[in-house]
Structure formats: structure tokens, C-alpha cells
Amino acid sequence: MSGLNLLFPFLSLFVIFTPSFTLVAGLSGCGPHHIQALVQFKNEFDSSGCNQTDYFNGVMCDNITGEVTKLQLPSGCFTGVLKTNSSLFGFNHLRYLNLSYNKFTSSSLSSGFGSLNKLEVLSLSSNGFIGQVPSSLSNLSRLTELYLDHNELTGGFPLVQNITSLSILNLSLNHFSGAIPSSLLTMPFLSYLNLDENHLTDPVEVRSSSTSSRLETLHLRKNPFEGKILDLISNFTTLKYLGLSFQNISYPINLKFFSSLKSLLRLDLSGNSVLETSISSDSDVPRNIEKLLLSSCDISKFPNFVRSLDKLEHIDISNNKIKGKVPDWLWNLPHLIRANLVNNAFTHLEGSNDVLTNSSLRILDLALNHFEGPVPTPPLSINLFSAWNNSFTGNIPLSVCNRSSLVILDLSYNNLSGPIPRCLSNLKDSLVVVNLRKNNLEGSIPDMLYNGSLLRTLDVGYNQLTGKLPRSLLNCSSLRFVSVDNNKIKDTFPFWLKALPGLQVLTLRSNKFYGPISLPGEVPLAFPKLRILEISDNNFTGSLPPNYFVNWKASSLETNDDGRIYMGDYNNAYYIYEDTMDLQYKGLFMEQGKVLTSYATIDFSGNRFEGQIPKSIGLLKALIALNLSNNGFTGHIPLSLENVTELESLDLSGNKLSGSIPKGLARLSFLAYISVAHNQLIGEIPQGPQFSGQAETSFEGNAGLCGLPLQGSCFALWSSSPRKLLCPPTDTTV
């Protein structure tokens, strides 16, 4: 068995050799045949993405019997089908089994799990399991925790209510259907039940008593309940956390349903209609509530009962129809740290402009309302202050510079004037996002960024800013996103920004930048992580060398380190900030689009570039949009563009390009928009859905082009042209 050691090439554990087996010291409590069985189980799957050490770190064995009692796979370790005859089901002394966050796609939930009858904890979350839950699962009489969430499981309700020892049950984000057994909700030890996002309906019968229930947490989000469930819930006096968002209840919910739940700490009714008469100051809502979520509840009056919730920490009344003033008593609630008032019709904060100053708030979002007048002085302890898309006027309050815990400042889409405060430099140890887009700010961007600044996002687009880009941007080693578009900044191309190791987005569109974007004799431009470069509508000149794009990060299809698909996730437990920008894409101008981390776009349009399009453009595998229109590019369309397989939008119009359109572009399966209008192209337009579905205007202004979608045939054009065009032109290699 000496060959067994080859199966642990990455283990840094001490290994003892005996004539019959190889024993890993980290598994010294395990019997040799159990180690072999663990290796056999691993070999049933593709584990190439798995750290071999981590696999065995999740194993525990009984020191006396050598039996495997615990197996916890690392996330993303295994890929493949979990078969009914898997060696896994031979570990019949397992008490703890966690296979969550792997890729058992298209695997059914095997009846073999029912044979592991000593299990106390079974976690199968996020694995892609399909089909029905086998009845054999009810054999697991010792089970206290069961997690089947985030799969594709179907059918009626599994027989888990027979497992009377269960304390935690999570079946959320599946496709379970049918009525909830009322007996489930009164299981003797069940304290946590999550049935979010299934197709479950009201219980057939409603029991009037819940004296045996220990239920403390109940999540029922996005199920088609019609109301009977409310009568049942009102009996669960032990409930602390209740999630009832986005139900199918046809009538407004009366808050009196929850008056008996004296222990309730969290109530989420978002996405339901709430009876407005029940949100008055004499509402019966329990006074201990710490978190109240009433988003999208079709209410038009401020819920005055909140005034009596002196333990409230978090309120969300976003996406309603509440008008007028926000009452000043809200800010006096002693424990309030988070308030979301987004997307209502508020016009003012009741009280003076300093009404927020002494509040305990850390997160305040006033976005998408109709607030007028000066920006209120933010609370002393504020972390996130968002007031975008309102009608605030006046200067940015200098008081923000004294908020030493401020992380995100978003005052975009208002009518603010005056300069950007230089004193924002006081916040170099906290400030991560500054978004002042679409105001009327004047002056230059101050040199306010000192060494050690944590700034990641700076967006000052659509203002009246002048001067040059501040060189102090180089002090922000964490900077990812810079947008100064649509101002009056006059400067040369910021080659110096390539020193920023994490810069992903640079938008200089519609300013007065000038000069070349390539310096003679230098190596190809290399921003280490740049994925989006928007420099359209400036006065940039010169030509681009053939190797211009060789060192660009956009040559790879990678997501950001934290796995999110949008830029701007700053890993905070209380909020998510996502960078947005105006996108010129597929011939359209789209405002406030979220910035994906996985794609790349280049927009050099509306400048005075000359020479050939660099053939190194074909290296940009992640490029989805390329706009080089309205320049003076000459030569042929590079054949290398056919290697940009993710390309969705290509605009080369308004140049002096010659030759034919490369036929390889017809193989770009994602290409939805193309324009080569107003060039000097000749020959037949490549045939295929990517081209035939385009408007005729995408090819106009090229006297030598023919074929669909242009009117007339190529034969007619060639017959009427000089002899040199009698034969159809062919692709010309660049």
C-alpha cells in the first residue's frame, strides 16, 4: 500500500509507513481502512479545485473505534454526480456531515442518506440537488439540524416532521410545493424554520394552540400563502424573528395579528400591503422590536407607532408613497443605527438643519425622494450617508469633514453648487466612496488625497469642474474607480495612474483632455487591472502602436477577488455599495448602469486618432464593447477581432477604414450591434444573423459595400463597377 502516499501530494502532515498501509498523522484516530474509504470517496469526483489538506482537515474519527464521525468538505471541493452506491454511505457512524457549497449538479438526493442513522447534523446546502426528498430521510431520528437550502428540490413536503428531535430546519430556495403540515410548526424542539422562496401554500388545518412550540425564527419569504398562515403564526408566542415578505395575501395585513408575539425582535412584512389604520400611534405591534422592515408595503403615511419602539435599531420604509416631512422624533430613538427611507416622496426633515447631529445613526439612506434645501448636517457617528437623486441645493456641508467614521458619501444627482471641500482630506483613514456625480460643482478637484487614503471610488462626473486631475490620486493605492466625465478638465492623458495597482475603471469622457495616449519608445500601456477605459469626446491625437493592448488585464476573464459580479462591494455587514456609470453600449446611452467586474469596455470615440487599429485588440478576451467611431483610423479592420469572442457591441463608424469586413466577425455569437457606417469599405457584408439583423444605417456611407441588409445585390454592384471590382474582394490580412 506504499502507493497510497501518492494520493496526498500536498499534505504537510507527518506520514508513518507500515508494511500494510500509510497513515496520515493528522488522521491518527482513524482506522486504516477508513482512511482508504475517505480516499475512495474523494476519487469519485473531480477534486482538482480542492486543497488536498483542507479535505482531510474536515475529518474527525473516534479515537477508540477509528470510525469516521465527522466529514466536512471544503466549499467548492467536489464536482460530479453523487451516486446512490457512493462509498459515502458506508460511513454509518457519522454524526456530522457537511457537503455544502459543492457541485453535485444533476444529482438526486440519494436514499442512501437515510442509512446514516447516527447523524445529528446534515448540511447539503447549495449543491444543485434535484428531485424529491427520499422518504428514507425520516429514518434519521437523531437529527437535530438539517440544511437542504439552495438546491432544486421538488415535490410535496418531505416527511421531516417525523424527525422529532429537529431544532433547525432550512429548506429555503427550492421548489417545494403544496400545503405546509401544521404539525411541522409545532414540532417539540424546532426553534429555527426557514422555508423562504418555495411554492408552499397555507396549512390545510390551523391548530389553535401552540403551547408545545419552541419556534423562535420563522422565515416564509416569497411563498404563495393567502392568509390562513397568519392565524397560525399569531399563536407562536415564542417567536423572535419573523419574515413574511412578498406573500400572495390578497388583503392588507393588519398589524394586530402580531400583538400576541411579545418576544418579537424582528418583523419583515416587505412586499405586502399593510393596513394603514394599523400603523397609527396606538398600534399593537410589540414594543421590543429591534428591526422593522416595511419596504414596498403600499403605505402613504409615516408609521407613527414606530415612536414607541424605543429598542428599534433598524427601520426600512423604502419604496412606499409617503409624502411630506420626516418627523423629528425618529432621530431621537436611542438605539436607531440604520434608517432606509429610499424612494418615497419626502420633501423635508422636520426641525432644523442640525436635527440629525446627535442621532445614533450610522447608516442613513435618503435617496430617490424630493428633499429640498441644504443638505442636513449628518450624524456624528455616521458610516454611510446617501442622499442621491433629490433636489438638495447649496454647498456640500463642511461638517462632513468632521465625521471621522464616514465611509461612504453619496450626494450625486442633486443641485449642489460651490467647490468640492478640500477638508475631505481629514477622512483619509475612513472614506472609501465619494460620489458627487451630476451636480453643479465648480472649481478644480482639490489635491486632498494624502498617503494612506482608503479611497476606492471617486465619481465627480457631470459637474462644471476645471483644472487638471490632481496628482494626489497616486496616494490612493486602493483606488478602483475614477470617473470625471462631462466636466471641463484640461489635461494630458494620465499615464501616471498606471502606478495604481487596483484601478479597474477610468472614465474621462467629454472633457478637454488632449495629446497622445501612447508615448514613443515606451513599452505598451499597462494598467495592471484596468477593464473599462472611456475617453470619448476629447482632443486626443496620434496613433496607437500594434502592441498597444498587449499588457491589458482585459485579456482574461476573471471576477474580482470577493466573487461578486459588480464592482464596489466593500464587504460591510450592513450595506452594499455598487459602482455605477453611464454606459454607451450597443448604439444606446444607458444611465446608471451597474459595473460588472467580469467584462471590459473601451470607448475612444470622438477624438482625432489616426493610423491603424492595433491588431493586439484581439487579445482582449473579456471585451464586450468596443467603440472607435468618429476618429481618423485608416487601414483594414483587424482580423484579430474575430478572437474577441465575448464582443457584443462594435462601433467603427466615421473613420477612414478600407478593405472588406472580416468574415470571421460572423462567428462572434454574442455580437448584437455593429456599425461600420461612413468608412471606405468594399465587398460583400458577411452573412449571418449578427449582420442581417442590423439596421441598414449600420453600413451606409460605404460606396463599395453590398449585400444584406443593404438594398440591392452585390452582382448588380460588381457589374456596374470598374473591372477591378468584377470579382468579389476577399479578406485582407493585417
Do residues 61 and 67 make contact, with C-beta atoms less than 8 angstroms apart?
A: yes
- For 644-648, what is the mean pLDDT? 91
Q: Could you tell me the pLDDT band of residue 594, with boundaries at 50, 70 and 90?
A: low
Total residues belonging to the chain:
734
What torsion do the CA atoms of 725, 704, 631, 555 make, to the nearest 10 degrees?
Answer: -70
Rounded Cα–Cα distance for residues 707 and 682 (Å): 11
- For 7-24, what is the mean pLDDT? 34
Least confident of 151-165, 391-405, 546-560: 546-560
pLDDT score for 202 = 86
Residue 680 lies in a domain: yes
Residue 533 lies in a domain: yes
For 426, the grid coordinates are 481629514
Least confident of 19-28, 335-344, 608-617: 19-28
Half-sphere exposure of residue 72, counting CA atoms within 13 Å on the CB side? Answer: 8
Q: Could you tell me the pLDDT band of residue 573, with boundaries at 50, 70 and 90?
A: low
Residue 6 lies in a domain: no
Residue 43 lies in a domain: no
Question: Angle 495-421-347 (CA atoms, 0-180°, nearest 5)?
Answer: 120
Higher local confidence (pLDDT), 161 or 271: 271
pLDDT score for 540 = 97
Q: How many Cβ atoms sit within 10 Å of the Cβ of residue 347? A: 16
The rounded percent of the chain whose pLDDT value lies above 70 is 85
pLDDT tens-digit series, residues 52-63: 677 888 899 988
pLDDT score for 74 = 87
The total domain count for the chain is: 1
Q: What is the side-by-side order of every strand in the sheet holding 704-706?
A: 514-515, 539-543, 608-612, 632-636, 656-659, 680-684, 704-706
Residue where the block lists cell 439596421: 695
Do residues 370 and 391 make contact, with C-beta atoms less than 8 angstroms apart?
A: yes
Rounded Cα–Cα distance for residues 105 and 382 (Å): 44
pLDDT tens-digit series, residues 290-337: 999 999 999 999 999 999 999 999 999 999 999 999 999 999 999 999
For 421, the grid coordinates are 471641500
pLDDT score for 252 = 92
Mean pLDDT across the chain: 85
The SS3 of residue 185 is helix
Q: Please report, for the domain that includes residue 658, its CATH number.
A: 3.80.10.10
Q: Is the pLDDT of residue 19 over 80?
A: no
Rounded Cα–Cα distance for residues 339 and 291 (Å): 10
pLDDT score for 551 = 82
Q: Give backbone dihedrals phi and psi of 230, rounded to 5 degrees, phi first.
A: -65, -40
pLDDT tens-digit series, residues 72-123: 988 888 899 999 899 999 999 999 999 999 988 888 999 999 999 999 999 9
Higher local confidence (pLDDT), 695 or 347: 347
What pTM, to 2 d.p., does this model score?
A: 0.86
Q: How many Cβ atoms sit within 10 Å of the Cβ of residue 237? A: 14
For 667, the grid coordinates are 462567428
Residue 199 lies in a domain: no
- For 274-282, what is the mean pLDDT? 85
Residue 635 lies in a domain: yes
Residues of the domain holding 667: 515-556+580-725
Q: What is the side-by-side order of every strand in the sheet holding 152-155?
A: 130-131, 152-155, 175-179, 199-201
Q: Is 714 exposed, middle or buried (0-12, 13-18, 19+ CB in 10 A)?
A: middle
Do residues 50 and 76 make contact, with C-beta atoms less than 8 angstroms apart?
A: yes
Residue 338 lies in a domain: no
The SS3 of residue 39 is helix
pLDDT score for 584 = 61
Q: Is the pLDDT of residue 643 over 50?
A: yes
Secondary structure (DSSP) of 648-678: -EEE--SSEEEE---GGGGG-TT--EEE--S
Do residues 174 and 194 make contact, with C-beta atoms less than 8 angstroms apart?
A: no
Rounded Cα–Cα distance for residues 11 and 59 (Å): 14
pLDDT score for 733 = 40
Q: Could you tell me the pLDDT band of residue 732, with boundaries at 50, 70 and 90?
A: very low
pLDDT score for 598 = 58
Q: Is the pLDDT of residue 555 over 70?
A: no
Rounded Cα–Cα distance for residues 501 and 357 (Å): 38
Q: Is the pLDDT of residue 145 over 60?
A: yes
Q: Give backbone dihedrals phi and psi of 714, rounded to 5 degrees, phi first.
A: -65, -35
Q: Could you tell me the pLDDT band of residue 583, with boundaries at 50, 70 and 90?
A: low
Residue 587 lies in a domain: yes
pLDDT score for 97 = 95
The SS3 of residue 590 is strand
Rounded Cα–Cα distance for residues 393 and 463 (Å): 14
Q: Is the pLDDT of residue 204 over 80?
A: no
- For 225-238, what is the mean pLDDT? 86
Residue 266: its H or E element: strand 266-268
**Distance between alpha carbon 662 and the CA centroid of its chain, in Å?**
36
Rounded Cα–Cα distance for residues 218 and 301 (Å): 28
DSSP 8-state code for residue 390: S
> Which distant-in-sequence residues (6+ apart) come within 8 Å of 619 by Cβ?
549, 550, 552, 555, 640, 643
